[in-house]
Each structure stands twice: as C-alpha cells, then as structure tokens.
C-alpha cells in the first residue's frame, strides 16, 4: 500500500483534514480569481468596455453549465474510485477513471457542437441585445472550441485529490489562473483581440491545466493511471458514475437558474436598486461559502477511502470533524454579517443608496446561514459515501423544491404584518414595493432552515444504516 493510501487510512484525522482541505480551499479562491480576471480586463477596454463586459456577462450561465457537466462526471467518479481504492481494488478504480475520461470527451464533443450550431439563439434567449450579441458570440465561439480542455481539467482533477495529492490538485487551478492573468492583457491590449483575446487566453490556460492533469494521471507518481484498455465504455459503470454525479451537477447548474429567478422577481418589485443589491448578496454568499466547499472537497477522499476500507470509526471521525469545522465557520461568518454587514457590502460598492439597501438586505438574506454548514457537511458526506439517491434529493430540495417556488410565492402570500418586522426606514423610502422585496429576500433563510431540518433528519436516519453495511469489513480487519 502506498504512502498516500496509508495516510488516508491511518494519519491523525485533524492534521489529515487540514492537509487535504487547505489546498482545496486555496484552489476555490484561485478559481474565483480565474473567473474574475477576464471581466476585469474586458471592462477596461477603451470605448467598448461596458458593452463588451455586458456581452460576456450574458455567456456566464452557459459557462457555468459547461463546468457543471464536468462535475457530473468527475465528482460522480472520484468518490467511487476512492472507495474502490479503500477496498484495495485499484483495478476497478482505474476502470472508473478510464470511463470518466471517455465520458468527459464525449460530453465535450456534444457541448461544442451544440454551442457552435445554436450559440446565437441561445444567447438571444439569455438576454443578449443587438449591441452586446457580437461580443457574447465572439467570446462563446472561442470558449466552445476549448470546451474539451475545461472538461478534462475540471472533470479529472478530482481524481488527483482523491488519491491524496491535494497540493498537486491545487496546482492544476493555480497554473491555469496565473497563465490567464499573464495572457489576458497581451491578447486584449497588445494584439488588440478584445473579447476574442480574453476567450483565447482562457482556453489556452485551460489547455495547459488539462495537459498538467493528463501528464500527472499517466505519470509515475500517480497511484491510478489512465490506461487505454479502460477507456472502452462500461455502461453500467458510467450509469453509476452519472447517478452520483447528478447531485453536484444540479448544485452547480441551478446557480444560473436561481440568479435569473431572483433578478426577475426583484426587478418587478424593487427595480434596478434591488437587482444591484442581489448581485452583491449573491457574490458575498458565493465568496463566503468557498472555504466550506474546500473543506468538503478535502474530507471527501478521506471519507470515501475509509468507507471502502471498512474503517467505521474513521468514517465517523471524518464526518464529525467536517461537521464541526463547517458549523464553526458558518456560525462565525453569520455573526460577522449580523454585526458588521458594511464590511462585506463595502467590498463591492461605495454608492450610498446601493450600500444602504445592501447592508439591510444582507442581514435578511443570510439570516440562517449559521446553519448552512450542517446542510453542506451532510450532503457532501452522502456523495463521499456513494449515496446517489440521498445526495440528489438534497441537491434538488433546497433550490428546486423550496427556494425557487418561495421566491415567487412569498411576495404574494406573506402578510405585510410579517414583512414590516424586517423593514428598515431606508428600504421603505428607496424601494417601490419594499414589503414584496423583503418577502423575496426571506425566501433564502426560510429555504435554508427547512433544508437543514430535512437534511439532518435524513442523515440521522441513513448514516447509521450505511455504517452497518461496512461493519463486517471493519470487523474482519480487526
């Protein structure tokens, strides 16, 4: 058994989780930078900057969806590979890896064809105007050609971290981000390629990251290797990979849908000021939740490996530690938001009215975020244990079943006597329909609270039953 495998099975849990999670958290932060750099440079292009930036903004839901498809394969396959490694079945783990390589390539070809053939009508349906469409189409066309690199990078990188090589996994993101930062100004301002230059810089950076991933997974250091014989599709294996991958796919892909729902509802009741505030709120939530995602990504290989190895106590220990870390972080974040929301809002705007509404809205929007760590720890542990049905249900529950219907229902159903309790004088004066805007904002904490309750009950019921299935293996080891 290799050193890396032994670490996952025997290293002290606290040190191990920190070792695995720290690079994952860093990778999440780097990835945000990766996504922001293009927009930062594009916004500063002479004369066309604002229009070009708006055009590229229209493509963001599509790019989010492309990323979601890579998680569909990678986050569905990596936990199952780690479980197989824990059982000592590296041959099956390599077969899972090989099928994921085939899966991401096939998805890349399909996505590229769809975007090249139907890019224009898709962009128009997402709100591109006559002025912004040319820039959106330029960016999307080049990005579509590089979809294969995005899929290989994001889809296969989880197999590196699942083997215990967390720092190497982080470097995948870091290399691409740094290269993108360097190439963006060269292509945009030196070669005068404008939006096309930003897209070209992005896909070339992703290409280098993809080559880094492929080189590692075919090299001497890796435990699991990509082998030609494992590339042949095994449809039953692919179905199990996709079944587990539906949960992270839904979590990622529905972000765009959720953003659209919030914006349409807030535009109706609060106008541009409310929509601008929501942009700040969602950015705060996204940025604040990055450490949580890093923690869960760090814990996933530990939980999956020990589950496969039949080590009940280490599975329990990894979950308890993950739950504690997630809850402590989200509780601390919630306390900071409640006490000094202006620190968070101030990172995004200095405009007086927008800041005033943003500070008021942030306290409501993140009213139960202190509990979000419980939801995330339980849901991600289900994925690590290969529990496809439970993880998919929880992914759908919060956003699709609860949050989106509440966004539209609460402004109609919630009495003014309740919303008045949350209103501020500034909100009453600045917003056209402040009670309805308050109702829309309340959808988030209500959905979060209900989702945490259901998740906790489901996890309390399922987790002991899952542990019983691995108890015999643990007994045999002892």
Last residue of a domain, one of 210, 233, 256: 233
Q: Model confidence at 474, in pLDDT bands (50, 70, 90)? A: very low
Domain presence at residue 29: yes
For residues 192 and 322, state if they share a domain.
Answer: no
Domain presence at residue 415: yes
Domain presence at residue 262: no
For residues 194 and 320, state if they share a domain.
Answer: no
Q: pTM, whole model, 2 decimals? A: 0.81
C-beta neighbour count of 22 within 10 angstroms = 16
Q: Which of 8-22, 110-124, 246-260, 461-475 has the highest mean pLDDT?
A: 110-124
Position 317 scores a pLDDT of 94
Position 30 scores a pLDDT of 77
Last residue of a domain, one of 208, 233, 258: 233
Give the residue from 173, 223, 167, 222 showing the smallest Cα distance to 20.
Answer: 167
pLDDT of residue 163 exceeding 60: yes
pLDDT of residue 27 exceeding 80: no
Give the residue from 197, 238, 208 showing the smallest Cα distance to 101.
Answer: 238
Give the residue from 131, 149, 117, 148 showing the smallest Cα distance to 58.
Answer: 131
Tokens matching residue 449 = 């609270």
Domain presence at residue 221: yes
Last residue of a domain, one of 216, 233, 250: 233
Give the residue from 275, 307, 289 showing the smallest Cα distance to 432.
Answer: 275
19-28, 31-40, 64-73, 245-254: which has the minimum mean pLDDT?
Answer: 31-40
Domain presence at residue 43: yes
Position 477 scores a pLDDT of 41
End-to-end Cα distance, the chain: 18
For residues 391 and 310, state if they share a domain.
Answer: yes
**Domain range spanning residue 173?**
11-233
Segments in 43-89 forming alpha helices (H) = 49-86
Find the radius of gyration of the CA atoms of the chain.
23
Tokens matching residue 202 = 């992005």
Average pLDDT over residues 155-167: 91
Number of H helices, E strands in the chain: 18, 0
Q: Report d(CA 283, CA 32) in Å as an integer.
A: 10
pLDDT of residue 3 exceeding 50: no
For residues 210 and 356, state if they share a domain.
Answer: no
Position 18 scores a pLDDT of 86
pLDDT tens per residue across span 350-367: 778 888 999 999 999 999
For residues 297 and 220, state if they share a domain.
Answer: no
130-134, 304-308, 469-473: which has the minimum mean pLDDT?
Answer: 469-473
Average pLDDT over residues 136-157: 95
236 membership: H or E segment, kind and range: helix 235-309
pLDDT of residue 471 exceeding 60: no
Average pLDDT over residues 2-17: 71
How far CA 310 is from CA of 3, 16, 72, 93, 432, in Å, comes to: 19, 18, 26, 16, 59
Q: Report d(CA 296, CA 204) in Å as an integer.
A: 29
76-85, 137-146, 272-281, 305-314: which has the minimum mean pLDDT?
Answer: 272-281
Tokens matching residue 434 = 């402040």
- Helix, strand and coil content of the chain, in percent to the nearest 5, comes to 85, 0, 15
For residues 74 and 219, state if they share a domain.
Answer: yes
The rounded mean pLDDT for the chain is 88
Residue with the two structure tokens 């963001």: 60
Q: Model confidence at 35, in pLDDT bands (50, 70, 90)? A: low
Q: Report d(CA 63, CA 70) in Å as an integer.
A: 11
For residues 442 and 366, state if they share a domain.
Answer: yes
């Amino acid at each position: 058994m290799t050193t890396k495998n032994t670490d996952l099975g025997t290293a002290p849990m606290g040190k191990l989780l920190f070792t695995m999670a720290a690079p994952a958290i860093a990778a999440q932060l780097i990835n945000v930078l990766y996504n922001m750099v293009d927009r930062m440079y594009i916004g500063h292009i002479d004369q066309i900057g604002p229009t070009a930036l708006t055009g590229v903004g229209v493509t963001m839901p599509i790019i989010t969806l492309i990323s979601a498809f890579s998680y569909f394969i990678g986050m569905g396959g990596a936990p199952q590979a780690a479980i197989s490694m824990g059982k000592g079945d590296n041959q099956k783990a390599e077969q899972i890896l090989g099928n994921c390589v085939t899966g991401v390539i096939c998805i890349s070809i399909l996505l590229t064809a769809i975007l090249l053939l139907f890019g224009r009508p898709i962009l128009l349906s997402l709100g591109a105007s006559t002025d912004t469409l040319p820039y959106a189409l330029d960016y999307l066309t080049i990005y579509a050609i590089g979809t294969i690199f995005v899929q290989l990078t994001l889809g296969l990188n989880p197999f590196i971290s699942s083997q215990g090589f967390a720092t190497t996994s982080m470097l995948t993101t870091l290399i691409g981000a740094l290269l993108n930062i360097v190439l963006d100004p060269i292509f945009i301002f030196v070669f005068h390629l404008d939006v096309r230059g930003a897209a070209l810089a992005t896909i070339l950076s992703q290409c280098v990251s993809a080559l880094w991933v492929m080189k590692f997974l075919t090299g001497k250091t890796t435990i699991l290797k990509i082998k030609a014989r494992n590339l042949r599709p095994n449809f039953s294996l692919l179905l199990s990979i996709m079944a587990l991958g539906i949960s992270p796919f839904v979590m990622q892909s529905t972000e765009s849908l959720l953003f659209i729902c919030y914006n349409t509802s807030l535009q109706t009741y609060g106008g541009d000021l409310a929509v601008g505030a929501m942009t700040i709120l969602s950015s705060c939530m996204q940025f604040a939740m990055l450490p949580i995602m890093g923690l869960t990504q760090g814990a996933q290989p530990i939980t999956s490996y020990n589950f496969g190895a039949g080590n009940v106590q280490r599975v329990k220990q990894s979950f308890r530690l993950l739950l504690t870390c997630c809850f402590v972080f989200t509780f601390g974040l919630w306390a900071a938001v409640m006490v000094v929301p202006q620190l968070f809002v101030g990172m995004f705007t200095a405009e007086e009215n927008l800041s005033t509404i943003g500070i008021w809205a942030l306290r409501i929007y993140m009213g139960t975020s202190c509990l979000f760590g419980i939801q995330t720890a339980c849901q991600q542990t289900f994925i690590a244990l290969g529990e496809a049905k439970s993880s998919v249900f929880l992914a759908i529950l919060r956003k699709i079943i609860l949050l989106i219907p509440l966004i539209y229902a609460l402004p109609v159903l919630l009495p003014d006597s309740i919303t008045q309790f949350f209103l501020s004088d500034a909100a009453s004066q600045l917003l056209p329909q402040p009670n309805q805007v308050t109702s829309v904002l309340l959808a988030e904490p209500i959905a979060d609270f209900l989702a945490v309750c259901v998740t906790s009950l489901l996890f309390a019921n399922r987790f002991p039953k899952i542990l019983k299935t691995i108890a015999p293996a643990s007994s045999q080891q002892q």
